[in-house]
Chain A
Amino acid sequence: EAQVTQNPRYLITVTGKKLTVTCSQNMNHEYMSWYRQDPGLGLRQIYYSMNVEVTDKGDVPEGYKVSRKEKRNFPLILESPSPNQTSLYFCASSLASVHNEQFFGPGTRLTVL
């Protein structure tokens, strides 16, 4: 089954404790992206990647890191989480061409205390 998977689905952590949210897709998509969803703000793009070893900042990259060493994986790293990073996070992927729709993962609900 074609899908985007994220782990963990739920995470409660404390300020400053490094964490990684994994994202993997099995559709051989070139484009991958991370979003955060907050009430009243919709989805905001954190980082995206056009292909392996190519990443770029979205609209809200501060406090996040990403890497794209393999085509299928695009982990999101929070080196020193803060409470304002409490949010619902989505990973998505698509073919590279500009007119392709994205496939979304199920989401990761992160709480930073």
Chain B
Amino acid sequence: AQSVAQPEDQVNVAEGNPLTVKCTYSVSGNPYLFWYVQYPNRGLQFLLKYITGDNLVKGSYGFEAEFNKSQTSFHLKKPSALVSDSALYFCAVRAWSGTYKYIFGTGTRLKVLA
């Protein structure tokens, strides 16, 4: 069965410190991996994606993510957190399963403390 796991319900980090939000996946075939962010009372917004090529992908708002095939992980990172980064983050994978379903993780709430 295909799945996405975000092992941390919440991550707290001090402003200015680096942050990591973890994501692991299990799919058959080549995965297409995405990160989305949800601010309060808003829909999800796309941050970045991994399709192929360089394992380190860069996205919006200074975020980046590292694809690790051997560990089946796609962790979201940012070198220096901002209070405004506080939000709910979702990892998602899209993979061939007859047709292209999307599978989302359960979300990780990031809290950046001033």
Binding site for B on A (CB under 8 A): 4, 31, 33, 35, 40-45, 48, 50, 56, 58-59, 90, 92, 98-99, 101-107
**Are B104 and A90 neighbours in the complex by a CB distance under 8 Å?**
no
Q: 21 interchain pairs (CB within 8 A)? A: A33-B102, A40-B9, A42-B105, A42-B107, A43-B44, A43-B90, A45-B102, A45-B103, A50-B99, A50-B100, A56-B99, A59-B103, A90-B44, A92-B44, A98-B94, A102-B46, A104-B36, A104-B45, A106-B43, A107-B42, A107-B43
Cross-chain contact of A42 among B94, B96, B99, B106 (Cβ < 8 A): B106
Give the 8 A-B residue pairs with the shortest CB-CB distance, closest first.
Answer: A104-B43, A42-B106, A43-B104, A101-B46, A99-B51, A104-B44, A42-B104, A99-B32
Binding site for A on B (CB under 8 A): 6, 9, 32, 34, 36, 41-46, 49, 51, 90, 92, 94, 96, 99-107
Do A102 and B102 form a contact, CB below 8 Å, given A42-B90, A43-B90, A90-B44? Answer: yes
Please report whether the interface of chain B is mostly helix, strand, loop or mixed according to DSSP: strand
Alpha-carbon separation in the docked complex, A31 to B94 (Å) = 13
Please name all residues of chain B whose beta carbon is closer than 8 Å to the beta carbon of A48 when the two chains form the complex. 99, 101-102
Please name all residues of chain A whose beta carbon is closer than 8 Å to the beta carbon of B9 when the two chains form the complex. 40
**Are B101 and A98 neighbours in the complex by a CB distance under 8 Å?**
no
Alpha-carbon separation in the docked complex, A35 to B36 (Å) = 14
Cross-chain contact of B100 among A43, A44, A98 (Cβ < 8 A): A98
Please name all residues of chain A whose beta carbon is closer than 8 Å to the beta carbon of B41 when the two chains form the complex. 107
When C-beta atoms are compared, the residue in chain A nearest to B46 turns out to be A101
Alpha-carbon separation in the docked complex, A58 to B103 (Å) = 9
Beyond A42-B104, A107-B43, 15 additional contacts (C-beta under 8 Å) are A4-B43, A33-B102, A40-B106, A42-B90, A42-B105, A42-B107, A43-B90, A43-B104, A43-B107, A45-B102, A45-B103, A92-B44, A102-B34, A104-B36, A106-B42
Please name all residues of chain A whose beta carbon is closer than 8 Å to the beta carbon of B102 when the two chains form the complex. 33, 45, 48, 102
Do A101 and B34 form a contact, CB below 8 Å, given A90-B44, A106-B43? Answer: yes
Alpha-carbon separation in the docked complex, A13 to B106 (Å) = 27
Please name all residues of chain A whose beta carbon is closer than 8 Å to the beta carbon of B106 when the two chains form the complex. 40-42
